[in-house]
Amino acid sequence: MTTAAPRPVLEVRDLVTHFPVRAGVVKAVDGVSFSIERGKTLCVVGESGSGKSVTARSILQIVDAPGRIVAGSMVLNRADGSSVDLATLDPRGRAIRAIRGAEIAMIFQEPMSSLNPAITVGRQIGEPVNLHRGTPWEGALARARELLGLVSNPDAAARVNAYPHQFSGGMRQRARIAMALACEPQLIIADEPTTALDVTVQAQILDLLQDLAKKANSALILLTHDLGVVARYANRVIVMYGGRVVETAPAAELYARPAHPYTRGLMASIPRLDGDTRQRLVPIEGSPPDLSALPPGCAFAPRCKLASERCRAERPVLREIGPNHLKSCFVDD
């Protein structure tokens, strides 16, 4: 007997997000597709400027002006069987505001900028509970205390009346996680949530985030430039370059058989703590593409040692090269 694949909580298809600027059009997201199921972690990896944050912000319709979604669909499938295409919602409308922080929560890189310095941590954690669930403030604050204890330790619950500046960087990000979990979202998007933190705190915070997301059976999208993070947390990986997905695979498969020259380049550029210490770090030569002037062919071709005339002339599309493993590359064809 075969069981049907679970319905993804989010299905993104051919998402295109542009920034019309004076110099032209910045194609920050240029035809991105992926899906994610509840209880799973999807890592989106790529160098700075590859379109990770704009992809995440597109999902919640919080792309900075003058950016806008120009094509694609982003279908949110709810547990009750209903669905909504987030791409069709008005960014300022009631429907998306009811989803943000309730059905889909986002955690940003710098916790200070997403916490209000003038409001106690407890009120900020309780706010989504009050706003989305209509729980009276007394109950919302009790929930905030409970959540703060959950993301830290029972003593931390007593600090519910503290202000963000009275917390350490790590504790602020724990509070942000508590806020994200407050309404038991189906999907949590974390955008480089530990990049601003001390290395020793990073793993604790990510372990906590994944553990709590799993317990709540929420899907987790983790954006990172760090392949070490990917190796530790991802079930599935999408590798982005120049606003496009260049490779996607289950995490174990990607590490066993990285196929795209860019993915291989990223892997060669991470320090190996466990491996041969004589092996040198090989950074990828060249710089990321100008997204307002992408070449006609493969966006990576100008930096790719294996690029041919075809790579420079024709844009490769994603195609399956193994079970659930896709790449967009002509090399080895």
Q: How far is the CB of 242 from ligand ADP (least distance, A)?
A: 9
Q: Assess 242 for contact with ligand ADP (CB under 6 A).
A: no
Q: Which of 259, 264, 256 is nearest to 284 (CA)?
A: 264
Q: Which CB, 19 or 167, lies closer to Mg ion?
A: 19
Q: Assess 54 for contact with ligand ADP (CB under 6 A).
A: yes
Q: Which CB, 21 or 252, lies closer to ligand ADP?
A: 21
- Looking only at the bridges linking them, the beta strands covering 325-327 and 219-224 are unpaired
Q: Which CB, 52 or 143, lies closer to Mg ion?
A: 52
Q: Assess 64 for contact with ligand ADP (CB under 6 A).
A: yes
Q: How far is the CB of 69 from Mg ion (least distance, A)?
A: 17
Structure tokens at 232: 């530790």
H helices of 38-120, where?
52-59, 94-99, 111-114
Q: Which CB, 3 or 48, lies closer to ligand ADP?
A: 48
Stretch that binds Mg ion, among 49-57, 84-92, 93-101, 268-276 (CB under 5 A): 49-57
Q: Assess 21 for contact with ligand ADP (CB under 6 A).
A: yes
Q: Cα–Cα distances in Å, from 187 out to 8, 10, 41, 182, 238? A: 11, 8, 10, 12, 17
Q: How far is the CB of 52 from Mg ion (least distance, A)?
A: 5
Rounded Cα distance, 294 and 153, in Å:
49
Give the DSSP per-residue string, 228-277. HHHHHH-SEEEEEETTEEEEEEEHHHHHH---SHHHHHHHHTS--SSS-T
Q: Assess 239 for contact with ligand ADP (CB under 6 A).
A: no
Q: Which of 67, 14, 5, 72 is nearest to 40 (CA)?
A: 5
The residues in 247-306 that bind ligand ADP, with binding defined as CB under 6 A, are 291
Q: How far is the CB of 117 from ligand ADP (least distance, A)?
A: 24
**Can you give 112-179 as a three-state secondary structure string?**
HHHCCCCCCHHHHHHHHHHHHHCCCHHHHHHHHHHHHHHHCCHHHHHHHHCCHHHCCHHHHHHHHHHH
Binding ligand ADP by CB under 6 A: which of 18, 40, 52, 174? 52
Give exposure, 202-223, as e/b (b: 16+ Cβ within 10 Å): beebbebbbebbeebebbbbbb
Structure tokens at 275: 């491996």
Q: Assess 224 for contact with ligand ADP (CB under 6 A).
A: no
Q: Which CB, 126 or 243, lies closer to ligand ADP?
A: 243
Residue 26 binds which one of ligand ADP, Mg ion, none, with CB within 5 to 8 A depending on kind? ligand ADP
Q: Assess 61 for contact with ligand ADP (CB under 6 A).
A: no
Binding ligand ADP by CB under 6 A: which of 26, 87, 251, 326? 26
Binding ligand ADP by CB under 6 A: which of 41, 50, 186, 218? 50
Binding ligand ADP by CB under 6 A: which of 12, 18, 19, 132? 19
Q: Which residues bind ligand ADP (CB under 6 A)?
A: 19, 21, 26, 28, 46, 48-54, 64, 67, 291
Q: Which residues bind Mg ion (CB under 5 A)?
A: 52-53
